[in-house]
Amino acid sequence: MKVTLIQMDVAWAGDKKLRENVRKNHETAEKAMLAAEKSDLYVLPEMWNTGFVTTPENLFPEQGPTSVSPSSEGETGVGSETLTWMQRMADKLDAAVAGSVAVRLPDGSFRNRLFFVKPDTSPNPSPEAVGRESNCQPCEQSLSPRGKVWRGAFYDKHHLFTYGGEHLHYTPGEERVTMEWRGVRLRLCTCYDLRFPLWLRCRDDYDALICVASWPTVRMHAWRVLLQARAIENQCYVLGVNRVGDDPVCQYSGGTAFVNPYGEMTACPEGEASVLTKTIDMEHLRTFRGKFPVLKEAD
């Protein structure tokens, strides 16, 4: 399976230029995806449509329902606009599109939600394909009263970044999520989750780990080491997608990387917007796991 990782400079949308910059980020991502090599999966960074906003109340100033919860209808707001965009791009490219977005649920709580959106030409997954540890919704899901739908799965960030105050405004997710796509089982995680190996432990239930992030420059050494550690200990591919640029709090230098099960890393140039296209070789992975059965001997 061919994957493209999008390392982009995200325009800050946590201010008065909210909608203008959200749409600018849509345009930036679309340009990068269309210019990249044709792939089965395109992965965007954490909160790629707004920047890493720890006060999500600012993103939903309007009254009324603003959630992108699978069960709700009539959504408005930047989360809904972005999910509509992701579905459009998935359909246009006949590929899955993944990336995290701040959303507000009907109960007023906020989630840092990683969406995995599939093209509407793809069949809905069976419960077995989705996996037991999953909050995926294996069906078409209502996005608006006009009948628009999105297809795929979502993961709510479990380990909120307390150092940055994320836990004060967001509610953590409690479910591990695995999504099968074109023969590859993909575990979803977001940024700070990468530091917690027990949460991400492969129980022979996934083949590749997707980690979308807003990981600052000052901790880039940890980012690189943790990506490699998760690949080696879980005998899996790791797709780590980070942003570049600045926001009011941090500087980001990228480090977006594709790591193979041996821990060997191919990375985007640091400090500049770029894309990286690589191939997940399932035959190679199965052979490696069969010859060196680390996962079968895990504690």
What is the DSSP-derived secondary structure letter of residue 9?
Answer: B
Tell me how many domains the chain contains.
Answer: 1
Dihedral sign from CA coordinates of 282, 294, 277, 123? positive
CB 40 within 8 A of CB 95: yes
CB 49 within 8 A of CB 77: no
For residue 158, the Cα-to-chain-centroid distance in whole angstroms is 13
pLDDT tens digits for range 127-164: 444 443 444 433 344 343 334 578 999 999 999 999 99
pLDDT at 214: 98
191 is catalytic: yes
How far, in Å, CA of 272 to CA of 295, rounded?
A: 37
62 is catalytic: yes
CB 100 within 8 A of CB 241: no
One-letter amino acid at 99 equals: G
The CA-atom distances, in angstroms, between 149 and each of 68, 90, 110, 217 are 11, 12, 21, 37
How far, in Å, CA of 94 to CA of 197, rounded?
A: 33
Task: From the candidates 81, 136, 180, 191, give the one annotated as an active-site residue.
Answer: 191
Question: Predicted confidence band at 124 (pLDDT cuts at 50, 70, 90)?
Answer: low
pLDDT at 148: 55
Instruction: Over range 13-22, report the average pLDDT.
Output: 86
How far, in Å, CA of 109 to CA of 61, rounded?
A: 14
Instruction: Over range 251-261, report the average pLDDT.
Output: 98
Domain of residue 228: give its range.
2-297
pLDDT at 150: 85
For a pLDDT cut of 70, what percent of the chain falls above it?
85
296 is catalytic: no
pLDDT at 177 over 60: yes
pLDDT at 61: 59
How far, in Å, CA of 239 to CA of 207, rounded?
A: 11
CATH number, domain containing residue 194: 3.60.110.10
pLDDT tens digits for range 185-230: 999 999 999 999 999 999 999 999 999 999 999 999 999 999 999 9
The CA-atom distances, in angstroms, between 76 and each of 54, 125, 134 are 20, 27, 26
Task: From the candidates 16, 62, 128, 296, give the one annotated as an active-site residue.
Answer: 62
pLDDT at 236: 98
How far, in Å, CA of 126 to CA of 95, rounded?
A: 19
The CA-atom distances, in angstroms, between 268 and each of 70, 76, 147, 293, 298 are 34, 35, 39, 31, 32
How far, in Å, CA of 275 to CA of 38, rounded?
A: 12
Task: From the candidates 75, 118, 157, 268, give the one annotated as an active-site residue.
Answer: 157
How far, in Å, CA of 239 to CA of 270, rounded?
A: 16
pLDDT at 143: 42
